[in-house]
């Protein structure tokens, strides 16, 4: 393995804090004339240690999509299992400096590692010196920037973003992410009822591993084959047309699309603003009337007039 500047973490959201860290890694790697790399634990440590039902913000495919534009030379996916959990801090350092040939390790200021999280920054620095390597500590990111900064700004964190999404606060969630929260997937056939009421939809069915925000209707934009279309998206179980469904779907009506069916195509739907909760209507006519109202709201959001 060639020498590298390495950062380590879960990188669940690739939010502004992560982006600042990855930018620093690539910058320092160029300065040193070595490769840039990130070690990402897989599966998510919280799944292994705390809750097998935990759903990360983004699937592996979605996270890979986000990492494509970071400029990293290498991404190492490190298996997070019992063996890694039981690894002593000393042996963890040996892995970083011997196996991955890290000449610079960049971590957050509260970084802990090894069995029982017994390893700290001081130990990491001590072990790095034995391998002619260095450690750089990145300060906590607030407000999307590293210090000097306004300390009254909220800390950028995945847990905060999850909370904002659960509270339908898309504005703050998207601000901390640095991009709109999105769902990627392959367009699948549904019951095709939307086209019978004049609102055909693109249906995707995210895996059980994907975090989804509150059920409801959202103003969105969807990227199809490189083109972005405004839309209205329903996340939920479609109680009006499928009263017993246990499967959550993501159904998007594109406002400006007039092309052919897109079954089998990969699309990316970005959530811009929460419009309303998901309701069960008494008839398809009531549903049609409400969707027409949702479309008007989405158009105003897209035009910046609301």
Query: Is residue 166 domain-resident?
Result: no
Q: Do 93 and 10 share a structural domain?
A: yes
Which pLDDT does position 56 carry in this prediction? 96
Q: Tell me, what's the pLDDT at 148?
A: 46
3-state class (DSSP) for residue 185:
strand
**Quick one: how far is CA 204 from the chain centroid?**
17
pLDDT for res 194: 61
Active-site pick, 12, 62, 127, 251: 251
- Quick check: bond before 43 cis, omega within 30? yes
Residue 86: active-site member = no
Q: Please tell me the distance from the alpha carbon of residue 300 to that of residue 229, in angstroms, as a whole number.
A: 14
- Beta pairing partners, 253: 232
Which pLDDT belongs to residue 128?
Answer: 97
Considering the domain architecture, whether residues 85 and 153 belong to the same structural domain is answered as: yes
Same domain, residue pair 141 and 231: no
Question: Which residues sit opposite 273 in a β-bridge?
Answer: 219
Q: Are residues 156 and 291 in the same domain?
A: no
What's the alpha-carbon Rg for the chain, to the nearest Å? 22
266-277/182-186 β-pairing: antiparallel
219 and 128 co-located in one domain:
no
**Domain count within the chain:** 2
For residue 172, tell me if it sits in a domain.
no
Let me know if residue 165 belongs to a domain. no
How many other CB atoms sit within 10 Å of the CB of residue 49?
11
Is 195 in the same domain as 248?
A: yes
* Residues 14 and 154 both lie in one domain: yes
192 located within any domain: yes
With vertex at residue 149, the alpha carbon angle to CA 144 and CA 152, rounded to the nearest 5 degrees, is 85
Q: Would 173 be classed as within a structural domain?
A: no
- Is residue 168 situated within a structural domain? no
Does residue 146 sit in the same domain as residue 29? yes
Kindly state whether residues 64 and 193 are assigned to the same domain: no
Q: Which two tokens stand for residue 215?
A: 């059920």
Q: Which two tokens stand for residue 194?
A: 């939307």
- Looking at the structure, tell me whether residues 132 and 194 fall in a common domain: no
Q: How high does pLDDT run on average in the chain?
A: 90
CA 154 → CA 181, 269, 286, distances in Å?
Answer: 19, 27, 42
**What is the extent of the structural domain holding 90?**
4-160
Same domain, 198 and 293: yes
Q: Alpha-carbon distance 287 to 110, whole Å?
A: 50
Residue 217 counted as domain residue: yes
Do 203 and 275 share a domain, yes or no? yes
Query: Is 170 domain-assigned?
Result: no
Q: Which residues of the chain have pLDDT under 50?
A: 144-146, 148-149
- Evaluate if pTM is beyond 0.85: yes
Give residue 283's pLDDT.
83
Mind listing the pLDDT tens digit for each residue in 275-291?
A: 999 888 888 888 888 99
């Amino acid at each position: 393995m060639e020498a590298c500047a390495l950062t380590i973490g879960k990188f669940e959201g690739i939010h502004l804090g992560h982006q600042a860290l990855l930018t620093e890694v690539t910058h320092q790697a160029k300065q040193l004339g070595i490769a840039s790399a990130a070690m990402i634990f897989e599966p998510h440590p919280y799944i292994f240690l705390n809750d097998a039902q935990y759903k990360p913000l983004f699937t592996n495919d979605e996270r890979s999509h986000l990492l494509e534009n970071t400029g990293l030379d290498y991404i190492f996916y490190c298996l997070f299992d019992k063996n890694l959990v039981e690894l002593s801090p000393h042996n963890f350092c040996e892995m970083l400096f011997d196996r991955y040939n890290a000449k610079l390790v960049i971590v957050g200021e509260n970084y802990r590692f090894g069995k029982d999280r017994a390893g700290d920054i001081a130990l990491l620095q001590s072990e790095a010196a034995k391998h002619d390597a260095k450690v750089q500590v990145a300060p906590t990111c607030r407000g999307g920037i590293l210090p000097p900064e306004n300390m009254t700004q909220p800390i950028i964190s995945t847990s905060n973003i999850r909370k904002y999404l659960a509270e339908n606060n898309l504005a703050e969630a998207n601000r901390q992410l640095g991009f709109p929260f999105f769902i990627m997937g392959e367009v699948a056939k549904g019951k095709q009822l939307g086209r019978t009421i004049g609102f055909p939809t693109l249906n995707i069915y995210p895996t059980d591993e994907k975090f989804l925000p509150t059920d409801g209707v959202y103003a969105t934009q969807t990227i199809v084959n490189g083109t972005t279309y405004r839309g209205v998206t329903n996340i939920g179980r479609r109680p009006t047309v499928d009263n017993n469904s246990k499967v959550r779907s993501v159904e998007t009506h594109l406002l400006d699309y007039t092309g052919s069916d897109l079954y089998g195509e990969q699309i990316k739907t970005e959530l811009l603003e929460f419009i309303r909760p998901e309701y069960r209507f008494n008839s398809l006519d009531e549903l049609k009337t409400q969707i027409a109202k949702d479309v008007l709201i989405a158009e105003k959001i897209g035009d910046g007039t609301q």
